[in-house]
Amino acid sequence: MENVSGNVPYACLFLAVFLGLIGTVHGLYCKRDCHPPKCSCPQYNYPMNREDIPQMVYFGFDDAVNVMVSALYDRIFTENRTNPNGCPAKMTLFVSHKYTDYRRVKNFHENGHEIGVHSVTHSVIGNENLLRQEAKKQKDILMSRAGIPEKDIVGWRSPFLKPASVNQPKILKELGYEYDITYTYTRTHMSSPKPWPFTLDSGWPFRCATRPCARTRVKGFWTVPVEGLMDFKDLYPCTYVDGCVIGASNEKEAYKYLMDNFMSYYNTTRSPFGLNMHAAWFYRSFNLDAMLRFLDDIGKMDNVYIVTVKQMLDWMKYPTPLANISSLKSWNCHYKEPTEVPTTTTTTEKVINVTKLDERRNNPMWFILRRLF
Ligand SMILES: [Zn+2]
């Protein structure tokens, strides 16, 4: 007995070390020399007083930019929808090629919104070669057709949030991207911990809902976890805002869905609150009404900023307390000189425009939207 009880502390120590190692491997391991702006640790709690942290809200809309979705974006991002510093709220569009009207993309970019890449073909990208092709070609298309400078196109999202390989972040970095917003993080309750964006210097530490996981370490390359919202009953996670098993059926429920999720960030760690979604969610008009009311309400709060993903990562690179927020350059209001509209109309563009027109005529939503807007 004596021997057994004498071994208990050692057994406990061994167990603690063992569990500690597990925590390091599957938890939030980070190198000691990881500091912004070049490196940022995966973490649930940011090392800054909560009162000093701006509650960042970002929109990541996916897919083609056409007349229908543009009308919806214009309803949301009006001149009057401003942040506490007086600058207009901004969004990020992850643009796929098919059915996209690049003049509209150009306009959104000129108005200060961020343009990211969401592939050419919008198909499952299942290997590294395809990823290289899709990520390079769609960036080139955005540059040539929408006149967006290469330096402004830094974000990638895979179609269906399906990573191409364990090397996806490495390949994206080689292609000049700065962040990937593909990897999902599943919450099980509103109160579940919510990770901050981080660099992949130490790899992806969370469970992978969609494989293959990012197992390689990529120095200085950012990943923004796609954190599912919980549905309005707090029962099931919804990876995209418009992807709930139990969706809202009226404006009151949709508003509760948005506000409860927002508050689960605001009242805890103030990690960035992401609205990853498709504009199709607004085809049910009560969802749009709920979103507008939600944005009006959080717009009254003096510490809530609606920013692009790129602006959010700028804050991560240069963590700035609210009191000094005017010193964060990329958050200041600035106007860009208009760039020239591409004057050449290729055969492909003509084909796409005709297809788009046919699509509009065949889509019942087109007629509903024509009445709405
Ligand atoms: Zn998509």
Domains of the chain: 43-346 (3.20.20.370)
Using pLDDT thresholds of 50, 70 and 90, give the confidence band for residue 322.
Answer: very high
Alpha carbon of 161 to ligand 1 centroid (Å):
8
From ligand 1's centre to the CA of 39, what distance in Å? 29
Kindly state the average pLDDT of the residues 108-129: 97
Confidence of residue 235 (pLDDT cuts 50, 70, 90): very high
Ligand 1 centroid from CA 125, angstroms: 12
What integer best gives the mean pLDDT of the chain?
86
Measured in Å, residue 118 CA sits from the centre of ligand 1 at 7
Cα separations in angstroms, 339 against 4, 64, 110, 299? 78, 22, 8, 31
Higher pLDDT: 353 or 252? It is 252
Split at pLDDT 50, 70, 90, the class of 349 is very low
Q: What is the pLDDT of residues 181-214, one digit of tens each?
A: 999 999 999 999 999 999 999 999 998 888 888 8
Centroid of ligand 1 to alpha carbon of 249 (angstroms): 24
Contacts of 98 (CB under 8 A, 6+ apart): 64, 120, 121, 122, 352
Kindly give the distance from the C-alpha atom of residue 278 to the centroid of ligand 1, in angstroms, as a whole number. Answer: 8
Res 210: pLDDT: 83
Taking the centre of ligand 1 as the mean of its atom positions, its distance from the CA of residue 276, in whole angstroms, is: 11
With pLDDT > 90 as the criterion, what percentage of the chain qualifies?
Answer: 77
Instruction: Find the angle CA(319)-CA(40)-CA(84) to the nearest 5 degrees.
Output: 25
Q: How many CA atoms lie within 13 A of 223 on its CB side?
A: 33
Cα 95 to averaged position of ligand 1 atoms, centre (Å):
8
CA 87 to chain centre: 20
Q: Residues 74-96: what's their mean pLDDT? A: 97
Output the CA 19–ligand 1 centroid distance in Å.
Answer: 39
Distance CA 152, CA 310 (A): 9
Output the pLDDT for position 32.
Answer: 83
What separation in Å is there between the alpha carbon of 96 and the centre of ligand 1?
7
> CA 110, 106, 63: angle at the middle one, nearest 5?
120
Q: How far is the CA of 63 from the centre of ligand 1 (A)?
A: 5
Q: Please report which confidence band the pLDDT of residue 215 belongs to, taking 50, 70 and 90 as the band edges.
A: confident
